[in-house]
Every structure is written in structure tokens, then in C-alpha cells.
Structure 1
Amino acid sequence: MTDKNNRIPFDEDNYTHNINRDNERKLDRRGFMKTLVGAAGVFAVSSLPWGAVAAKELLGLGNKEYPHQKIADLNAVAIGDAVEFHFPGEHDSALLIRLGDEKFVAYQNACTHLRCPVFWVKDKNEMICPCHHGKFDVETGAPTAGPPRRPLPEIEVEVKDGAIFAVRVKRYEA
């Protein structure tokens, strides 16, 4: 809105046409990009401690050993039976299966697809995840059917003094 002389028809000091006129260019494109780069830098620096923790865990040599935990007495588990237990923590569900006189396998009891519980079906001699029909080989923990692509994390067991103990969780080998 200008008059014939190309003048603004009101005083420059009258800010009613644009209340924030002095501040309207505070965040232009360059300022926005500086803010964006600064925020990305803060995020990158703040994630370094978590990367260090992950690297430390991945570079740990060998399998991590936990305090040995008694699962069951040897004579309490018949061949073909399974026993549920918690290892290494109280919220980590696991499954021990006795395959022979002196052959035991144990796995963490969470499907590697979406962490649904895995069940031992004795009469079919297979481990199944009912959520998406996943199946796992009882000897190796490797997936044999369904969407899971990684084997179940194996738990090493040890028989000592007439009892079965959970010793460590084996590292996943790609």
C-alpha cells in the first residue's frame, strides 16, 4: 500500500502493520542451518558414551561368565523334558532341555524375531514360537521355519555334584 509518491502512508515508527518487524529476520536460512548443525553436533557428542559402552561389550573376548546358577537336580529332569529357569538375570527367561543321559541344551527363551516366548513341544521334538510360527532346531538353536533369522542365544550348562548349573551365555556368532 503506497501512495502516488511511492511513500508508505504511515509512520515507520508505527509497528501495528508488523509487530515483530525488528525480529522478523532473526532465524533466516543461514541461522536455521547453523541451529540444525549445532543440534546434530550436540546429539553426536551425547551419543559417544553409548558407543563406547557398545564397543566395550563387543570387544570383550570370550563369553561372559556369570555366577553359576543351579537349574535343577540331575535326577529331577527326565530325558526329553524341559525346565524353565531365569538366567543370567531374574527377568531373563531360559529353557533347559535334556536330550540324552548326559546331553543338555539350554537357550534364552525369547524368539529372535520379536521376543515372543519359545516353547518345547516334547512329542514333536521341536522348539516353537507360537506368535509367528517360528521353529528352532533343538540341537543348535538355529531357526528352521518362520520369520526368525538368528539362532536362540545358547546358555552353557555344567553338571556337577548331581545338579545342573547355568554357567554362561554364549556370544552370538554371525
Structure 2
Amino acid sequence: MDEQQKKNNNRVPFDEDNYTHNIHKQNERSLDRRSFMKLMVGAAGVFAVSTLPWGTIAARELTGLRSKQYEAAKVADISAVKVGDAIEFAYPGEHDSALLIRLGENEYKAYQNACTHLKCPVYWSKEQGEMLCPCHHGVFDVKTGAPTAGPPRRPLPEIVLKQEQGAIFATGVKRYDT
């Protein structure tokens, strides 16, 4: 290589600094830091506004401003459940498992039988007189549905019952007080 070629190989082919030669080109830097931040704040605002309807629905549901109405459903004939026994039934929907327990001659309690800790099924122990969750050794009081042992912190949702024409009917689900 001759001396002229060596000199041209180490030279920038135009009169600008090599690090800043592209800054002033048309539309090269249309999204700078300030524009990017404006875009992000705008996107966050659109997201916040778009979630407002779902937030109000969730708030109404959680605060109990709108009470749900359930249809009455026959659980069992009174003669089919002996004192101290329990039967499983579906209420309020066909996939919602519940447990009816006959405590006395005219005393019945029913709860949704999904543990309030991790939704494991809850079973009635006639010998111990309590409802048990075998997954994490949760224990619930049969009179109130409140947890008495284990990791559950909330009571089981109680199902409202009524007796009519020799049968027991489920008429609703009580909301949590806590």
C-alpha cells in the first residue's frame, strides 16, 4: 500500500465527528428520553383509565354493596339425614361443593366445603364433631364455620337453609363478616 491509501484508510469520509455524525439526520432520533417518558406516562394513564370499570365491579363485590340472589334448591329429605351425619351437595352452582350436617333433631348447618386456605375439600368428622381439611390440618367449628386450628384464617361460607314440606332447602350464601 502506498502512503496515500494508508492516510485515506484512517480518515472519516466526511467532515463530521464519528460519534455524532448521525444525531442531526432526519428522524434519526425522533424518540429521545423525554418523548419516551411521555409515551410511558400516557400508556400508564390509558391502562389506569381502562381498568376503572373492573375496579368498581370488584369493589362493589368485595364491599357487599350488591347482594347476590340465589335460587332455592332442595338439598335432601329430612328423613334421609340422621342426627350426626352429613351429606354433600352442590350449591349455589352445580360445581360448588357444599356440606350439610345434621346436628340435632331440628338443627342443621351447611357450609361450602372448600377450605378458605387453599380450597382443599373439607370433611365432616362425626367422631370428633368438627370439620377437617386434610391438606394442612385445618379444623373448622361446626356451629360457626370459624377456623379453630391450622392455617385457615377465614370462616367457611355458610349456606342459608330452610325446612319446608319434610325437606331441607338451600336459599342463599351468607357473606363474610370479616
Q: Sort the TM-score into its range (normalised by shorter chain).
A: 0.7 to 0.9
Q: 1:32 deviation in Å?
A: 2.3
CA contact (8 A) 2:22 2:28 kept: no
**2:71 maps to 1:40:** no
Structure with bigger RCO (C-alpha 8 Å, 6+ apart): 1
Tell me what 2:101 maps to.
97
Report how far residue 33 of structure 1 moved: 1.6
The residue identity in structure 2 corresponding to 1:55 is A
Q: Is the aligned partner of 1:160 residue 2:161?
A: no
Alignment deviations for residues 87-135 of structure 1 (CA, whole Å, 9 cap, x no partner)? 1111111111110011111111111111111111111111111111111
Change in CA separation of 1:123 and 1:12 when aligned onto 2, cut-off 3 Å: farther
Gaps of 5+ in 1: 1-7
Distance in 1, Cα, partners of 2:30 & 2:135: 54
Match of 1:25 in 2: 29
SS at match of 1:49: helix
Partner of 2:53: 49
Considering only CA atoms, is the larger Rg found in Structure 1 or Structure 2?
2
> Structure 2: which 5+ residue stretches go unaligned?
1-10
One-letter amino acid of the structure 2 residue matched with residue 65 of structure 1: Q
1:127 corresponds, among 128, 131, 148, to: 131
CA offset digits 1:11-34 (Å, max 9, x no partner): 379xxxx99975553333222221
Task: Please say which of residues 120-129 and 154-163 is displaced more in the overlay.
Answer: 120-129
Amino acid in the other structure paired with 2:130 = E
Q: Residues of 2 paired with 1:12 and 1:68: CA distance?
A: 87
How does the TM-score come out when normalised to structure 1? 0.84
Aligned residues: 164
| Pairs within 5 Å for 1:3-14 | 9-11=12-14
Percent identity of paired positions between Structure 1 and Structure 2: 63
